[in-house]
Amino acid sequence: MAVSDRAPAQALSSGGVPLVIVAITSLQFGAALGRTIFDETGPAGTALLRAFFAAVILVAIWRPRPRDHPARDLRLVVVFGLVLGLMNLCIYESISRIPLGIAVTIEFAGPLGIAVALSRRRLDLACAALAGVGIVLLADPGSGAVDGLGVAFALIAAACWAVYILVAQAAGRVFTGGRGVAMAMAVAVLVPLVPGIVQAGSALLEPRWLAIGCAVAVLSSVLPYSLETEALRRLPANVFGVLMSLEPAVAALAGLVVLGQDLRARDVVAIALVVVASIGVTRAGPTAPEA
């Protein structure tokens, strides 16, 4: 598809950009809230509570009817759900070992890779490179302060995030509203089910942890996934991918506000770089595909 000179205005007028920004903010502050109960329910237990309540809420809102869809669409939902479940479990296991901002920065390798792979413009590649510099600064490699297993979990989450972008976009073309997300979240519950029960045990039944788990589900799943699914209908995947470079910045802010994780001068520089990269790709991104 040819790139129009009016692409920047079209990308902004589509409404996809603000949807992504709200989704990112909700997701990262929800993750920080979830981190506060890891000592009681464990990362897997928290992931289970998040997935369970998110599935209940989304199914109640959208009332999907699996029987109305062919087997091919349902297989897509299963893949969507398994990717969601594994991504959420791995990033929670990661942030239980390393700071939220660093974990999300490493995880961002997934959408950044998608942005580079799908880019058709040199400026998009330059913005991706700029975001990459910010990621390296924020991750602070070679310092010896980052837990190796935490990094490994973040890398698995990164791979899942890359697949999520593509699968969610495909699901958005097949399912109306949030029905695809609702069915996928019901499948996602299966991923942390066993490890969540093992880690949390009877804590999963305590009202205070259930209440926090429900809040995490709304902030980290119900709201952001619904908004992202709609944004993916309005934006091409490469624009969406580099817009997600805001994730490390917002994660670092959430870590500071909720978890008391301080920002250093190099972190501020890294945040500025990823924000500039996001603005650059938004203004110069290609036209969204026709519905």
* Range of lowest pLDDT (50-54, 127-131, 194-198, 210-214): 127-131
Residue 146 has pLDDT above 80, yes or no: no
How does residue 59 score in pLDDT terms, banded at 50, 70 and 90? very high
Segment holding 75, helix H or strand E: helix 71-95
Half-sphere exposure of 262 (CA within 13 A, CB side): 2
Q: Please give the structure tokens belonging to residue 53.
A: 């309540």
Q: Please give the structure tokens belonging to residue 168.
A: 């969610």
Q: Is the pTM of this model over 0.85?
A: no
The mean pLDDT value for 15-21 works out to 85
The mean pLDDT value for 30-45 works out to 96
Q: What is the largest CA-CA distance in the chain?
A: 59
SS3 101: helix
The mean pLDDT value for 218-239 works out to 81
Q: Which residues contact 217 (CB under 8 A, 6 or more apart)?
A: 49, 50, 51, 52, 53, 54, 57
Give the position of tokens 């972008």.
Answer: 165
**Would you say 32 and 258 are in contact if contact means Cβ atoms under 8 Å apart?**
yes
The mean pLDDT value for 209-235 works out to 88
- Category of 69 on φ-ψ map: left (φ > 0), alpha (ψ -120 to 50) or beta: beta
How does residue 143 score in pLDDT terms, banded at 50, 70 and 90? low
Give the position of tokens 């600064």.
Answer: 137
The mean pLDDT value for 133-140 works out to 76
Give the position of tokens 């097949």.
Answer: 174
**Would you say 168 and 228 are in contact if contact means Cβ atoms under 8 Å apart?**
yes
Give the position of tokens 């990717």.
Answer: 83
Give the chain's mean pLDDT: 84
* Range of lowest pLDDT (19-28, 75-84, 140-149, 247-256): 140-149
Residue 290: the pLDDT is 36
CA distance 101 to 151: 12
CA distance 52 to 32: 18
